[in-house]
């Protein structure tokens, strides 16, 4: 439940449906994936067949679920949504697959987290539109083959490299989603503001975009917090100043770092002179578990070029010193 966390919280789920673009041309950014996907979909439409299975890879909050819904909408097909962790037994998957209608899109989020037996059943379903349903147990068990209607699987994963090669190879097309550029996020904020009936100027949208870590989900969430602030403390209108004031209240800084991120950097600079320092020592200094520091704070700090992981420990870069308003030391500041 971090304001700058990329996963969906309860409030996001409630609002996201209203904010999702419905068609490919409304989808902002991801030029390459959009163009590639548009070709796949047009070709399938012209041939009158179900398109190849699609794999979408990339960090949470970048629009994978949204794109899967767009794929279905563009094909005029219904969509079924489920996820890897929800499919623990092959039987769970068999039940879903056998109830699909012809041409239906099946969205399988976090596909890398499916159980092994389900994964193997999926291979056959993807390739031959067939599953073997096992009836009974032990030596008396029999496999009953079941024909499936042609369907399109859209799998989503945070990293394509997490998928076993036999599964990866069964996708005809993989779209690699990238973090969004500030100008793209600014468009996302504008679009969402219009849907939420928020009066925002371009500089206000740019300010929110700059603090959103390249992630539309975070941009939409920050916009809602800024809206609250603008409504309660001012007249509802969102400008650069209002956005900055609101997000300062929520401790999301100009670069999208939150309290934890800054605490890690601050300890690294003030207590350890910029490092190198071991992860566990750094974690003790900020009063967090090593895992939290490593998995929650560090990935973004590394991505932003503020912190580097080296064999000798964590070190701060010159940009980190500058970000916290301090001069980098002449030596060893990275």
**Where on the chain is the footprint of ligand ADP (CB under 6 A)?**
16, 19-21, 27-29, 60-66, 188, 216-217, 220
Nearer to ligand ADP, 20 or 227 (CB): 20
In whole angstroms, the minimum distance from the beta carbon of 232 to ligand ADP comes to 24
SS3 333: coil
In order of 56, 160, 169, 192, 274, the CA distances from 110 in angstroms are 10, 11, 17, 26, 37
Question: Which residues are within 8 A (CB) of 44 and not within 5 positions of it... i.e. 6 or more apart?
Answer: 50, 51, 52, 75
Catalytic residue flag (residue 169) = no
CA distance 288 to 69: 39
Taking the least distance from each CB to ligand ADP, the nearer of 220 and 317 is 220
The one catalytic residue in 109, 253, 258, 261 is 109
- Identify whether 109 is a catalytic site residue: yes
Q: Report the C-alpha gap between 127 and 328 in whole angstroms.
A: 57
The answer on whether 309 is annotated among ligand-binding residues is yes
Q: Report whether 170 belongs to an annotated binding site.
A: yes
Q: Is 65 a catalytic residue?
A: yes
Determine which one of 168, 211, 217, 227 is catalytic: 217
224 catalytic per annotation: no
Catalytic residue among 82, 158, 174, 281: 158
Q: How far is the CB of 318 from ligand ADP (least distance, A)?
A: 33
Number of H helices, E strands in the chain: 15, 9
3-state class (DSSP) for residue 325: coil
Question: Of all helices (H) and strands (E), which one includes residue 144?
Answer: strand 142-147
CB of 224: closest distance to ligand ADP in angstroms?
A: 11
Nearer to ligand ADP, 131 or 198 (CB): 198
- CB of 95: closest distance to ligand ADP in angstroms? 24
Catalytic residues: 64-65, 109, 158, 217
């Amino acid at each position: 439940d971090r304001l700058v966390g990329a996963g969906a919280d309860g409030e996001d789920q409630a609002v996201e449906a209203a904010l999702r673009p419905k068609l490919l041309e409304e989808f902002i950014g991801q030029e390459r994936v959009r163009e590639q996907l548009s070709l796949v979909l047009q070709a399938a439409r012209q041939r009158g067949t179900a398109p190849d299975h699609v794999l979408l890879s990339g960090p949470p909050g970048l629009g994978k679920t949204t794109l899967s819904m767009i794929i279905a909408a563009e094909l005029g097909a219904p969509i079924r949504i489920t996820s890897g962790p929800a499919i623990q037994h092959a039987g769970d998957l068999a039940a879903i697959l056998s109830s699909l209608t012809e041409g239906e899109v099946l969205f399988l989020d976090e596909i890398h987290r499916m159980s092994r037996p389900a994964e193997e059943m999926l291979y056959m379903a993807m390739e031959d539109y067939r599953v073997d349903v096992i009836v009974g147990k032990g030596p008396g068990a029999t496999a009953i083959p079941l024909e499936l209607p042609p369907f399109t699987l859209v799998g989503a994963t945070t990293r394509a490299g997490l998928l076993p090669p036999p599964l990866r190879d069964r996708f005809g097309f993989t779209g690699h989603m990238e973090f969004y550029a500030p100008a793209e996020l600014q468009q996302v904020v504008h679009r969402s503001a219009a849907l939420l009936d928020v009066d925002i100027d371009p500089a206000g949208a740019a300010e929110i975009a700059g603090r959103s870590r390249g992630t539309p989900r975070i941009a939409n969430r920050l916009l809602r917090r800024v809206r609250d602030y603008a409504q309660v403390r001012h007249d509802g209108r969102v400008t650069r100043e209002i956005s900055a004031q609101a997000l300062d209240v929520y401790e999301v800084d100009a670069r999208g770092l939150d309290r934890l991120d800054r605490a890690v950097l601050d300890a690294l600079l003030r207590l350890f002179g910029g490092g190198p320092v071991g992860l566990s020592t750094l974690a003790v200094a900020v009063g967090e578990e090593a895992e939290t520091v490593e998995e929650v704070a560090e990935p973004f700090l590394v991505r932003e070029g503020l912190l580097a992981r080296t064999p000798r420990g964590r070190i701060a870069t010159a940009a980190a010193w500058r970000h916290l308003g301090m001069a980098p030391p002449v030596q060893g500041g990275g």
